[in-house]
């Protein structure tokens, strides 16, 4: 099973959620793997990709045969959308996928930024869902403005018939005062409180 992890924007907790999910799936007996097709803003090495790789290797020793460049095949130094930061070799991404996939039962694929981040003229971040035949988990960070962000993402995904599971990453408890009174009708799950429910839904749906 492939799971693509995206978010309503950048810096909303994709990597944080991915690390927790790796542990949770591993505890259930699954061999886990990770792939971050593109990381921008890379200096010496891809920070998010390295965190994911180090965690995954501990949980699945078979990944020791891989390198960080396998996990993050496209690395750009400019912290910008891939369309701006540099060219993207999709064959290189496919080759990484072919190396990683046989080593795991569940592959977590982490996007960069939000779902509509442009990669080429005709390929956006959300298109990786189809590219990898993956389920989509949308992380929504609990910041002021998240209602608008969530509704826009929800509208786009539903209009394009893209099934998704979504979860709130709680940055602080102000969410319950300023946002939950509206979002409660959408039955949100929370990364910090409902991880097992999120895992069960990903396995079931």
Catalytic residues: 36
- Sign, CA dihedral 10-13-19-20, equals negative
Nearest to 99 by CA among 69, 125, 126, 133: 69
**String of b and e for 131-155 (b: at least 16 CB within 10 Å)?**
bbebbbbbbbbbbeebeebbeebbe
Nearest to 106 by CA among 175, 18, 190, 179: 18
83, two tokens: 């369309």
Q: Could you give phi then psi for residue 32, rounded to 5 degrees?
A: -105, 155
Pairing of β 32-35 and β 106-110 = parallel
The helix or strand, by DSSP H or E, that contains position 106, with its residue range, turns out to be strand 106-110
Q: To 10 degrees, what angle do helices 14-27 and 195-204 make?
A: 70
């Amino acid at each position: 099973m492939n799971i693509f992890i995206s978010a309503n924007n950048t810096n909303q907790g994709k990597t944080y959620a991915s690390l927790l999910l790796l542990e949770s799936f591993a505890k259930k007996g699954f061999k886990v793997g990770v792939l971050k097709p593109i990381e921008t803003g890379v200096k010496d090495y891809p920070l998010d990709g390295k965190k994911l790789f180090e965690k995954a290797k501990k949980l699945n020793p078979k990944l020791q045969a891989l390198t960080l460049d396998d996990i993050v095949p496209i690395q750009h130094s400019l912290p910008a959308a891939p369309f701006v930061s540099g060219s993207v070799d999709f064959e290189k991404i496919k080759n990484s996928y072919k190396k990683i996939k046989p080593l795991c039962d569940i592959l977590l694929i982490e996007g960069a930024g939000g779902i509509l981040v442009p990669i080429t003229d005709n390929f956006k971040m959300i298109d990786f869902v189809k590219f990898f035949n993956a389920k989509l988990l949308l992380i929504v960070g609990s910041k002021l403005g998240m209602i608008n962000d969530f509704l826009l993402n929800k509208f786009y995904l539903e209009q394009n018939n893209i099934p998704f599971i979504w979860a709130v990453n709680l940055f602080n408890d102000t969410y319950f005062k300023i946002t939950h009174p509206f979002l409660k009708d959408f039955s949100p799950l929370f990364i910090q409180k409902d991880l097992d429910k999120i895992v069960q839904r990903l396995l079931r749906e």
